[in-house]
Amino acid sequence: MLNLSIMTLYPLIAKFFWPALRVLALFSTAPVFKEKKIGNKTRVGLAIVIAILIGQNLPDSHIEIISYMGLWVAIQQFIIGAVMGLTLELIFVAVRNAGEIIGLQMGLSFATFFDPAAGGSMPVIARILNILVTLLFLTFNGHLWILNVLADSFILLPVSANPLKGDGFLAMVYAGGMIFKSGLMLGLPIITLLLTLNLTLGLLNRLTPQLSIFVVGFPLTLSIGMVAMSMMMYTLAPFFENMMKDIFYQLAKILTLLA
């Protein structure tokens, strides 16, 4: 007769409990996986399935779940997963930052949509670019790369009570500079074009005060901005691909420094 007790299942539960915490923290912060359109039950179920697939190849940590050491390890797993997810989110924040600046120059900063992912309002240009790069992220198999990095993270940072090093968090702060650097590089051609147009309209307003620049300026700026954005679409895919390569390299560096 087969007898199952909590004492016999406890080692098996502990083996998959720690990977599940890291996976769940990653899915709560990583792009695509953290979307509110994905229900909490679906996210938790997917995290459990992936934790089982990854955890069966991991050695036993021999850490009691209900203990002070278990609490410390649980917090550590949440931090590791959150660091991975927030680092990958930087490329999307950079694109949205570029969209906000472009929308401001085009005069569309007042046109906002509610973003369910960010939980607030987002300019229409930033929303469009965010949707496009999300599709590009899936096209370039970014979600599969996330799972690959997740599996490799248990080799660099195994489940243990060893403290994390502060160099990894400092590297994450430095990686945050990508928001401004890459965002400005993405929107710089359109920003420069619209700035030149605004300077030209300003000179015309000073030379010919009879010409109503405010009537002509907005539709002209909007039209030229739309044409410039359509030309930018040709370079968006390779630019975002380079951003993905850079952020995954930075993530590998952060995990190495944390270890």
- Condensed to tens digits (0 to 9), the pLDDT of residues 146-173 reads 888 888 888 887 877 777 787 888 888 8
pTM exceeds 0.85 for this model: no
Cβ 15 vs Cβ 55: under 8 Å: yes
Helix (H) or strand (E) holding 121: strand 120-123
- Looking at the DSSP bridge assignments, the partners of residue 121 are 114
Q: What is the mean pLDDT of residues 83-103?
A: 86
pLDDT of residue 50: 83
Answer yes or no: are the C-beta atoms of 77 and 21 closer than 8 Å: yes
Range of lowest pLDDT (63-77, 104-118, 213-227): 104-118
Q: What integer is the mean pLDDT of 123-139?
A: 86
204-222 pLDDT per residue, tens:
777 777 667 667 777 778 8
Mean pLDDT within 58-73 = 74
Domain extents in the chain:
6-258
Per-residue pLDDT at 63 exceeds 80: no
**Dihedral Cα 133, 137, 143, 149, nearest 10 deg:** -100
Q: How far is 36 from 258, CA to CA, in rounded Å? A: 29
Average pLDDT over residues 225-250: 86
pLDDT at position 112 is 62
* H-helix segments, the chain: 6-29, 40-55, 68-106, 124-139, 142-156, 166-175, 178-207, 213-258
Element containing residue 113 per DSSP (H, E): strand 112-115
